[in-house]
Structure 1
């Protein structure tokens, strides 16, 4: 079949990298791709004892995919993730394979057991390959299969494994059908949608730091490419885009703007704010603006959801204020209004998540720079050149667009509702940035 040998070679390389990570847990895996040294901190790859253990894992994977509402359509409207899969022991020890049975419709994965020499196949990288066959209408190893495998890893909250597999495909000369920039935005989007779909705190492993780290690595690669491009080559130039925050009169617009500012700060984007707080204009490179918009769309949903839960719990009523009762002619202590508690919650949430996004960016940049050879400072110089280019462009646009003044935001509500302020910090911390659990 076309591409089969290349896919096997790429996945051998991929599994070799995972073996290196398995031997030295906690240490990054360093891979040289062309002239670039890449560093990966992969998620845990699950290992298995026998085919029964594999079947329990397969059931959990398919249940996770269905629960996340990520549909793998076979072209007729059937979601292949809803089709059951069983696992059986295979007699031969050299191969694992997938087969589809029609009556009744079901999938079967055949795995050689350990006692006949099948230990090589009792690992997630091999089993997920076979699950990708189940979720793909293409029987071979072509572009559709490879895209399905990458998407499956991303849907399971394993973006680094997806990045490593994507790299292995590219090293082996395989086109995945999605260019680097589009795939980066797809990965970020899937990470954020996972957070939005989670129904409880234990499952709401938001992966925001992983999304930010992925974005930062992508931004670094583009910055280095821009710095080394010749005048004749096509270069990405700064631009601007206006984004609607909310309709005039809607509450909390200033707090939403505050969240945009925190996200933009972590992604080399400058912001001009309408006096009504209904819109902002983002200035920067197109890829960075796309990342800011994707992060904001998800984070604002998370922030509102957390605030709603805080207010429903009634915990905000512990914050009180003194009110003069004219009829009784005395001061009385009363709970703060729900809108004040919400404002305090939003402020703290936006500030704390912003700090964590910026920390993820700073750590990722430091890791990339440290991985360079001591004689090279190309990344650091490229990032500085990019920053200067954005600053100069923003100054030019300020003059052309008549942008004046300094945004003052809204009066702080934290002092009026300290309990809600602290609750906002705790909720932002529970996003558990970059601490996703392995699927076991």
Structure 2
């Protein structure tokens, strides 16, 4: 079948890319996609010694899917991830395959061992391909299978491998109808879920950075596409959307707004804040606004949960202030009020999260520009004259020009909307509380550094 041949060709290309990445650890993988050079830093692909080792890995994968609530329901509503899979050695060396069995072990993966020449199959790309057949039974190598394989990689915390595989599929003429924006948002959501599930601070921070890096890379691709397309081909224009922050009179609204602004700044989105802090109107490209809403929905609940835990533990009582006791006619040292401690915690949490988002954004942009410069894709820009003699003409990459053009377009649109919507004044936020509760401020920074993010449900688009 043509689709099967294309799928195998794409996965052979995928495996070759992974081999290249394994030979050059620490260096980004450069892939030519059309007229663009894309950078990938793929996760480490698992390798195995024998089928028994593969069995251990398959058991762990299925247990992980069940523990994280990643259901793969078959047509009868049975979660395939909850059904065991047996791995057995295969006599032939040319193929690995999946076969249906009887319950309780409905699936069998046959892997040729190393002794018969099966070393090529003892790798994650092959084993997870066969496991995808178990999770999506009876569909061959059609679109449903490929979607399941991509989702499996994402659910296992390998979003870059999923992106790389999806690129291989597209280069081989498969899945060209997949909505890139929706798949990007889905991958961001799954990264957020991975961050929520892990108790390891370093892993959580890595998932967080990957989510913002993926969002930034998606924005760069769209910006370059907008800059190179003719006016009649441009499908996305700046727009605006109002986000509800909370009910009037609710405490901490200004701190919620502060968090949303930090996320918006990292994603090229402008904002106008209602005087009551109950609503914020976001201005920018729709795809960027969707990313901002996704990250905010995931992060604000975690910020509140972290703040509540801080107050419940009584850690804020280490912050004290001098209060005049009229009865005793003396100054007394008392703990700061809980509301002050919460405000300081939220401020620091939002600021630190914003800093992490900006670092991830800048790293992704620098990598995209560096890749384009390495490929020699630069264009001349107007020279600057510092004396009677003109300086040599500078060069910029098309990515840099596209990003600047995008920023200008958003700024111009926001300026126009400010006039049309009658937006005046500057948002001043709430009084700074960090100096009054330095302990809570430091606790907020520490909590934001391990920011446990929300689930993929948070990014469901209206």
**TM-score, length of structure 2 as denominator length:** 0.90
Task: Name the structure 2 match of 1:437.
Answer: none
Do structure 1's residue 416 and structure 2's residue 436 form an aligned pair? yes
Summarize deviations over 1:224-275 as a string: whole Å, max 9, x none: 1111111221331100000001111211111110011100001110000001
> SS at the partner of 1:284?
strand
Shift of 1:330: 2.0
Superposition map of 1:17-416 within 5 A: 17-175=17-175, 178-198=178-198, 204=204, 207-372=207-372, 373-376=375-378, 377-416=397-436
1:170 and 1:37 mapped to 2: Cα distance?
A: 15
Task: Indicate whether 1:429 and 2:449 are aligned.
Answer: yes
The residue that corresponds to 1:438 in the other structure is none
* SS at structure 2 position matched to 1:207: helix
Unaligned runs of at least 5 residues, structure 2:
379-396, 454-462
Aligned match of 2:381: none
After the TM superposition, which parts of structure 1 deviate over 4 Å for at least 4 consecutive aligned residues?
197-206
CA shift, 1:66, in A, is: 1.2
Deviations 1:89-125 (A, max 9, x none): 1111111111121343521111111111111111111
SS in 2 for 1:406: coil
- 1:6-38 CA distance string (max 9 Å, x none): 111100000101001111111111111121111
Q: Secondary structure at the match of 2:366?
A: helix
**CA distance in structure 2 between the partners assigned to 1:104 and 1:392 by the alignment:** 62
Q: Which deviations, in whole Å up to 9, do the C-alpha atoms of 1:164-196 show, x marking residues without a partner?
A: 000000001111652211111111111112333
Is the 2:83–2:104 contact (alpha carbons within 8 Å) kept by the matching residues of 1? no
Distance in 1 between residues matched to 2:69 and 2:203, nearest whole Å: 15
C-alpha displacement at 1:327, in angstroms? 2.6
Distance 1:213 1:204 in 2: 14
Counterpart Cα distance in 2 of 1:371 and 1:207 = 23
C-alpha contact 1:143 1:177 (8 A) present in aligned 2: no
Let me know the Cα RMSD of the aligned residues.
1.7
Are the equivalent residues in 2 in contact too, given 1:207–1:431 (CA < 8 A)? no
CA contact (8 A) 1:191 1:211 kept: yes
Is the alpha carbon distance of 1:63 and 1:28 closer, same or farther for their aligned partners in structure 2, counting shifts above 3 Å? same
Note if contact 1:66-1:81 (Cα within 8 Å) is conserved in structure 2.
Answer: yes
2:428 match: secondary structure: coil
TM-score in terms of structure 1 length: 0.95
The alpha carbon displacement at 1:71 in A equals: 1.2
Equivalent pairs counted in the alignment come to 433
Query: Partner of 1:331: helix, strand, or coil?
Result: strand
| 1:323 alignment partner, SS class | strand
Cα distance change on mapping 1:7 and 1:344 into 2, 3 Å: same
In structure 1, what is the equivalent of residue 385 of structure 2? none
